[in-house]
Amino acid sequence: GENVEQHPSTLSVQEGDSAVIKCTYSDSASNYFPWYKQELGKGPQLIIDIRSNVGEKKDQRIAVTLNKTAKHFSLHITETQPEDSAVYFCAASSYGKLTFGQGTILTVHP
Amino acid sequence: KAGVTQTPRYLIKTRGQQVTLSCSPISGHRSVSWYQQTPGQGLQFLFEYFSETQRNKGNFPGRFSGRQFSNSRSEMNVSTLELGDSALYLCASSLVAGGGEKLFFGSGTQLSVL
Protein backbone atom coordinates (compact mmCIF):
# COMPACT_ATOMS: atom_id res chain seq x y z
CA GLY A 1 0.00 0.00 0.00
CA GLU A 2 0.87 3.68 -0.07
CA ASN A 3 3.38 5.05 2.43
CA VAL A 4 3.71 8.78 3.10
CA GLU A 5 6.59 10.25 5.04
CA GLN A 6 6.48 13.81 6.31
CA HIS A 7 9.28 16.06 7.58
CA PRO A 8 9.98 17.79 9.84
CA SER A 9 7.86 16.56 12.75
CA THR A 10 8.15 19.96 14.44
CA LEU A 11 8.91 23.37 12.97
CA SER A 12 9.37 26.62 14.84
CA VAL A 13 9.55 29.97 12.98
CA GLN A 14 9.33 33.66 13.73
CA GLU A 15 6.32 35.63 12.57
CA GLY A 16 6.87 36.82 9.02
CA ASP A 17 9.27 34.00 8.11
CA SER A 18 8.48 31.25 5.61
CA ALA A 19 7.74 27.64 6.55
CA VAL A 20 8.29 24.58 4.36
CA ILE A 21 6.99 21.07 5.04
CA LYS A 22 8.01 18.16 2.82
CA CYS A 23 6.41 14.82 2.06
CA THR A 24 7.40 11.80 0.02
CA TYR A 25 5.12 9.04 -1.22
CA SER A 26 5.78 5.53 -2.45
CA ASP A 27 2.95 4.62 -4.85
CA SER A 28 3.37 6.03 -8.35
CA ALA A 29 -0.39 5.51 -8.85
CA SER A 30 -1.19 8.26 -6.33
CA ASN A 31 -2.86 11.12 -8.17
CA TYR A 32 -4.24 13.54 -5.58
CA PHE A 33 -2.30 15.30 -2.82
CA PRO A 34 -4.15 17.40 -0.21
CA TRP A 35 -2.81 19.30 2.77
CA TYR A 36 -4.77 19.63 6.00
CA LYS A 37 -4.44 21.93 9.00
CA GLN A 38 -5.63 20.68 12.38
CA GLU A 39 -6.11 23.00 15.33
CA LEU A 40 -6.51 21.80 18.90
CA GLY A 41 -9.87 20.17 19.52
CA LYS A 42 -10.91 20.31 15.88
CA GLY A 43 -10.90 18.03 12.89
CA PRO A 44 -8.46 18.54 10.00
CA GLN A 45 -9.33 21.32 7.57
CA LEU A 46 -8.37 21.19 3.89
CA ILE A 47 -6.13 24.17 3.07
CA ILE A 48 -4.86 23.32 -0.41
CA ASP A 49 -4.68 20.35 -2.77
CA ILE A 50 -2.98 19.43 -6.02
CA ARG A 51 -3.49 16.79 -8.67
CA SER A 52 -0.75 14.76 -10.31
CA ASN A 53 -1.08 16.60 -13.63
CA VAL A 54 -0.15 19.94 -12.02
CA GLY A 55 3.30 20.93 -10.77
CA GLU A 56 2.44 23.88 -8.57
CA LYS A 57 -0.58 25.58 -7.06
CA LYS A 58 -0.83 28.77 -5.04
CA ASP A 59 -3.53 30.28 -2.84
CA GLN A 60 -2.54 33.60 -1.25
CA ARG A 61 0.23 32.82 1.28
CA ILE A 62 0.08 29.06 0.72
CA ALA A 63 1.61 27.11 -2.15
CA VAL A 64 2.14 23.44 -2.92
CA THR A 65 4.66 21.94 -5.33
CA LEU A 66 4.69 18.41 -6.70
CA ASN A 67 7.57 16.48 -8.24
CA LYS A 68 6.09 13.26 -9.65
CA THR A 69 9.42 11.87 -10.79
CA ALA A 70 10.93 12.15 -7.33
CA LYS A 71 7.59 11.34 -5.66
CA HIS A 72 7.67 14.27 -3.31
CA PHE A 73 5.52 17.29 -2.64
CA SER A 74 5.90 20.30 -0.39
CA LEU A 75 3.83 22.93 1.39
CA HIS A 76 5.14 26.47 1.48
CA ILE A 77 3.68 29.11 3.80
CA THR A 78 4.98 32.65 3.39
CA GLU A 79 4.68 35.59 5.79
CA THR A 80 3.68 33.28 8.64
CA GLN A 81 1.34 34.54 11.33
CA PRO A 82 0.69 33.24 14.87
CA GLU A 83 -2.69 31.91 13.72
CA ASP A 84 -0.83 29.58 11.32
CA SER A 85 0.31 27.61 14.40
CA ALA A 86 -1.27 24.14 14.14
CA VAL A 87 -0.55 20.58 13.06
CA TYR A 88 -0.23 20.16 9.29
CA PHE A 89 -0.80 16.86 7.50
CA CYS A 90 0.04 15.90 3.95
CA ALA A 91 -1.76 13.03 2.26
CA ALA A 92 -1.71 11.01 -0.95
CA SER A 93 -4.64 9.29 -2.63
CA SER A 94 -4.13 5.93 -4.28
CA TYR A 95 -6.90 3.57 -5.49
CA GLY A 96 -9.56 5.46 -3.60
CA LYS A 97 -7.74 5.53 -0.29
CA LEU A 98 -6.16 8.54 1.37
CA THR A 99 -2.92 7.92 3.28
CA PHE A 100 -1.73 10.64 5.66
CA GLY A 101 1.73 11.66 6.75
CA GLN A 102 2.52 11.72 10.47
CA GLY A 103 2.04 15.46 10.79
CA THR A 104 4.15 18.56 11.44
CA ILE A 105 3.61 20.74 14.51
CA LEU A 106 4.17 24.31 13.30
CA THR A 107 4.71 27.01 15.90
CA VAL A 108 4.87 30.65 14.81
CA HIS A 109 6.36 32.92 17.45
CA PRO A 110 5.16 36.56 17.56
CA LYS B 1 -24.27 25.83 5.90
CA ALA B 2 -23.85 23.39 8.79
CA GLY B 3 -20.63 21.39 8.93
CA VAL B 4 -20.10 17.72 9.64
CA THR B 5 -21.64 16.80 12.99
CA GLN B 6 -20.35 13.93 15.08
CA THR B 7 -21.95 12.60 18.24
CA PRO B 8 -21.15 12.01 20.98
CA ARG B 9 -18.11 14.24 21.47
CA TYR B 10 -16.63 12.05 24.21
CA LEU B 11 -17.16 8.42 25.19
CA ILE B 12 -15.75 6.24 27.94
CA LYS B 13 -16.17 2.49 27.65
CA THR B 14 -14.64 -0.60 29.19
CA ARG B 15 -12.92 -3.49 27.44
CA GLY B 16 -15.29 -5.95 25.83
CA GLN B 17 -18.12 -3.46 25.36
CA GLN B 18 -19.32 -2.19 22.01
CA VAL B 19 -19.84 1.37 20.85
CA THR B 20 -21.72 3.19 18.10
CA LEU B 21 -20.62 6.57 16.79
CA SER B 22 -22.76 8.82 14.65
CA CYS B 23 -21.98 11.22 11.81
CA SER B 24 -24.20 13.66 9.94
CA PRO B 25 -22.54 14.92 6.74
CA ILE B 26 -22.83 18.33 5.16
CA SER B 27 -26.16 18.67 3.39
CA GLY B 28 -25.86 17.35 -0.16
CA HIS B 29 -22.74 15.29 0.53
CA ARG B 30 -23.29 11.62 -0.18
CA SER B 31 -19.82 10.29 0.61
CA VAL B 32 -18.87 9.65 4.22
CA SER B 33 -15.47 8.39 5.33
CA TRP B 34 -14.23 7.39 8.76
CA TYR B 35 -10.70 7.79 10.11
CA GLN B 36 -8.99 6.79 13.35
CA GLN B 37 -6.47 9.25 14.80
CA THR B 38 -3.95 8.22 17.47
CA PRO B 39 -0.65 9.82 18.57
CA GLY B 40 1.28 6.72 17.54
CA GLN B 41 -0.34 5.74 14.24
CA GLY B 42 -1.60 9.12 13.07
CA LEU B 43 -4.63 9.30 10.81
CA GLN B 44 -5.71 5.96 9.40
CA PHE B 45 -8.51 5.26 6.94
CA LEU B 46 -11.27 2.97 8.19
CA PHE B 47 -13.88 2.93 5.41
CA GLU B 48 -15.90 5.02 2.99
CA TYR B 49 -19.59 4.88 2.20
CA PHE B 50 -21.40 6.37 -0.76
CA SER B 51 -25.13 6.02 -1.40
CA GLU B 52 -25.43 3.45 1.40
CA THR B 53 -22.71 1.21 -0.08
CA GLN B 54 -19.24 0.63 1.31
CA ARG B 55 -16.86 1.70 -1.46
CA ASN B 56 -13.55 1.15 0.23
CA LYS B 57 -12.11 -0.29 3.38
CA GLY B 58 -8.86 0.16 5.30
CA ASN B 59 -6.81 -2.42 7.16
CA PHE B 60 -8.82 -2.75 10.33
CA PRO B 61 -10.23 -5.93 11.90
CA GLY B 62 -13.83 -6.96 11.39
CA ARG B 63 -14.73 -5.56 14.83
CA PHE B 64 -14.91 -2.20 13.06
CA SER B 65 -18.00 -1.83 10.92
CA GLY B 66 -20.14 0.92 9.55
CA ARG B 67 -23.24 1.73 7.62
CA GLN B 68 -24.87 4.61 5.83
CA PHE B 69 -28.53 5.50 5.76
CA SER B 70 -30.64 6.85 2.91
CA ASN B 71 -30.25 10.40 4.26
CA SER B 72 -26.43 9.95 4.05
CA ARG B 73 -26.02 9.90 7.81
CA SER B 74 -23.51 7.27 8.88
CA GLU B 75 -22.78 5.20 11.94
CA MET B 76 -19.64 3.37 12.93
CA ASN B 77 -19.65 0.43 15.32
CA VAL B 78 -16.78 -1.13 17.22
CA SER B 79 -17.47 -4.41 18.98
CA THR B 80 -15.49 -6.15 21.72
CA LEU B 81 -13.52 -3.01 22.54
CA GLU B 82 -9.81 -3.26 23.26
CA LEU B 83 -7.56 -0.77 25.06
CA GLY B 84 -5.85 -0.01 21.75
CA ASP B 85 -9.13 1.24 20.30
CA SER B 86 -8.79 4.41 22.36
CA ALA B 87 -8.55 7.15 19.76
CA LEU B 88 -10.18 10.14 18.13
CA TYR B 89 -12.60 8.89 15.49
CA LEU B 90 -13.13 11.36 12.69
CA CYS B 91 -15.85 11.42 10.11
CA ALA B 92 -15.47 13.30 6.83
CA SER B 93 -17.95 14.02 4.10
CA SER B 94 -17.46 14.89 0.47
CA LEU B 95 -19.42 15.62 -2.68
CA VAL B 96 -17.08 13.36 -4.61
CA ALA B 97 -17.00 9.59 -4.07
CA GLY B 98 -13.66 7.82 -3.77
CA GLY B 99 -10.10 9.10 -3.61
CA GLY B 100 -10.51 11.13 -0.44
CA GLU B 101 -11.02 14.34 -2.40
CA LYS B 102 -12.22 17.60 -0.84
CA LEU B 103 -12.95 16.07 2.55
CA PHE B 104 -14.72 18.09 5.23
CA PHE B 105 -14.01 16.69 8.68
CA GLY B 106 -16.09 16.80 11.83
CA SER B 107 -14.53 17.50 15.23
CA GLY B 108 -14.48 13.81 16.05
CA THR B 109 -15.54 11.50 18.86
CA GLN B 110 -12.88 10.94 21.51
CA LEU B 111 -13.20 7.32 22.64
CA SER B 112 -11.45 6.13 25.78
CA VAL B 113 -11.40 2.41 26.54
CA LEU B 114 -10.61 1.51 30.15
Number of residues that this document lists for chain B: 114
Average pLDDT over all residues of chain A: 95
Task: Indicate yes or no: CB of B56 within 8 angstroms of CB of A91.
Answer: no
Q: Do residues B55 and B97 make contact, with C-beta atoms less than 8 angstroms apart?
A: yes
| Strand-pair partners of B7 | B22
State the nearest Cα–Cα gap between A3 and chain B, in angstroms.
11
Put simply, the answer to whether B99 touches A96 (Cβ < 8 Å) is: yes
Q: Once rounded to an integer, what is the mean pLDDT over residues A87-102?
A: 93
Q: How confident is the model at residue A33 (pLDDT cuts 50, 70, 90)?
A: very high
Q: Give me the pLDDT at residue A53, please.
A: 87
**Ranges of chain B with pLDDT below 70:** 1
Which residue type does A72 have? H
pLDDT score of B75: 98
The per-residue pLDDT for range B32-47, each reduced to its tens digit, is 999 999 998 899 999 9
Give A36-88 pLDDT, tens digit per residue. Answer: 999 999 999 999 999 988 899 999 999 999 999 999 999 999 999 999 999 99
Cα distance from B99 to chain A (closest Cα, Å)? 4
d(CA A52, CA A57): 11
Over 80: is that where the pLDDT of A15 sits?
yes
